[in-house]
Amino acid sequence: MTKLVESPKASSKSFDPKRSILSYFANVGNAIIPELGKELSISVPKVTSVVNELIAEGLVQDYGKIESSGGRKPNLYGVVPHSAFFLGVDVKQTHINIGLLDLQKNLLKVTEHLPFVLDNTQVSLDTLCEHINAFIEELTVPRTKILGIGINLSGRINYETGYSYSFYFFEERPLSEVIEKK
């Protein structure tokens, strides 16, 4: 299993402690505040502050006290499973598969083998976006709770910038931005 937890970089302006903590919960599981601080190299006061913000936003919850080897019993925190969702889109040559996952990686809905022709054309890109939008429209989950879409597409892709160099490179915008807009 690939660990997707962001590691903080003290000098990095792009470091987002909220995202790091949510990523930790989603990929590793529930944790206590000192454990989060140690694993993510964030101070305990900062972790406490961010966790409280995430609780206020409805993304994280306090699961109560747990046993400890001494001292006060710490509280266990983790994600609220249905507070946010992600789509996974697997693009094949002749079909696509689309799935909806919650924050604990539970696959809630999947549609497999939707007919599709992977071609480097605007029609193919439009069809892909139509399939994704149709899948979203069938969900009982509000669109605003879908935080991201991961697309598995063959070919040369720069995962950091979202640019595809094999398919759908019609504009000077990254494919991720094109799909997000549509």
Q: Which position has the token pair 């996952």?
A: 101
70 is in which domain, residue-wise?
17-79
Structural domain total, the chain: 2
Domain membership of residue 174 (yes or no) is: yes
Residue 85, φ and ψ in degrees, nearest 5: -140, 165
The pLDDT score that the predictor gives to residue 96 is: 97
Q: What is the mean pLDDT of each run of 10 residues along the chain (182 residues)?
A: 40 75 89 95 95 94 87 90 91 96 90 94 94 95 89 84 82 81 84
The structure's pTM equals: 0.73
Residue 150, φ and ψ in degrees, nearest 5: -105, 130
Domain membership of residue 52 (yes or no) is: yes
For residue 145, the 8-state DSSP code is G
The pLDDT score that the predictor gives to residue 10 is: 41
Shared-domain flag, residues 92 and 163: yes
Under a CB-based contact definition with an 8 Å cutoff, are residues 152 and 92 in contact?
no
| CATH number assigned to the domain comprising residue 112 | 3.30.420.40
Q: In a 10 Å sphere around its CB, with 0-12 CB exposed, 13-18 middle and 19+ buried, how is residue 63 labelled? A: exposed
Measured CA to CA, the distance from residue 96 to residue 115 in angstroms comes to 7
Shared-domain flag, residues 56 and 119: no
Shared-domain flag, residues 53 and 112: no
The pLDDT score that the predictor gives to residue 116 is: 95
